[in-house]
Amino acid sequence: ADVFDALISPRPYKEAWSIDAALAFLYAQRGRLFDPKCVEVLVRHRERLDDICQRFSTVSARPALEA
């Protein structure tokens, strides 16, 4: 899940990957870098990933302290 989040999140040094591209990478590396069963679960729940990513991409950051 940590690698998936890192792949689909924009960083100063890279663009965000699409969910499909991230899943394809994880799937290609299953059994080498990633547990095959974990990857299978992510792939099987593709629709839920869309919902989760959409829900949390709209969360706005708030300042830690109010002025």
Nearest to residue 42, comparing CAs of 54, 25, 59? 25
pLDDT in tens, 47-65: 999 898 888 875 455 555 5
Q: What is the pLDDT of residue 54?
A: 86
Q: Between 66 and 29, where is the model more confident? A: 29
Query: Residue 10 pLDDT > 70, yes or no?
Result: yes
In this prediction, what percent of the chain has a pLDDT beyond 70? 85
State whether residue 37 is helix, strand or coil: helix
Q: What is the pLDDT of residues 13-23, one digit of tens each?
A: 999 999 999 99
pTM strictly above 0.75: yes
